[in-house]
Amino acid sequence: MSVAAVVELVATLGMAWLGDRFGRIRVVVWGLIGVALLAAPQFLVVSSDSVFLIFLVFALMRLLMAATYGPVAAVLSQMFRPQARYTSISLAYQVSGAIFGGISPVVATLVFRETGSIVPVIFLLIAMCALSIACLVKAPQHIDETTIASEKVMQ
């Protein structure tokens, strides 16, 4: 899967740039929609005999995941006021990563083991994408006073 990792490495920088150009939340939301749409093909392609197809789908998934990773620093920094930003970002990112990043694979494995089907796992990933979009859209976005002042100077 190193091909997919290289795709994500390069794409993350491009996605961060797209987030600056077209809106960080918009890029992350489109990335999450793409991940949800590619969820079924990603899991189902693993059982195919085509190594090329597996590499292609995984590279596409990593490209879409880059859309969620690239702009995330800007998204998180604007969710908190400057006075509490560093601690708030660190706590939010690390705790949510530990909880959801640690528990999700366990839950997916248990669901697969209990049902014997990959379909509920696919729906779990789609549900997590939908929850992420809902949280992202509802999350507070703070504008720094210095940003507003510098924009007025540039005009």
Q: What is the mean pLDDT of residues 89-107?
A: 89
User: Residue ranges of the domains in the chain?
Assistant: 2-143
Q: What is the mean pLDDT of the chain?
A: 88
Superfamily of domain 2-143: MFS general substrate transporter like domains (1.20.1250.20)
Of 151 and 28, the one with more pLDDT: 28
Average pLDDT over residues 117-135: 95
Using a pLDDT cut of 90, give the percent of the chain over it.
59
Task: Taking residues 15-32, report their average pLDDT.
Answer: 94
**What average pLDDT does this structure show over 4-26?**
90
Q: Is the pLDDT of residue 147 over 90?
A: no
pLDDT at 154 over 80: no
DSSP string, the chain: -HHHHHHHHHHHHHHHHHHHHH-HHHHHHHHHHHHHHHHHHHHHHTTSS-HHHHHHHHHHHHHHHHHHHTTHHHHHHHTS-GGGHHHHHHHHHHHHHHHHHHHHHHHHHHHHHHHS-SHHHHHHHHHHHHHHHHHHHHS-----HHHHHHHHHH-
Per-residue pLDDT for 35 more than 90?
yes
pTM: 0.84
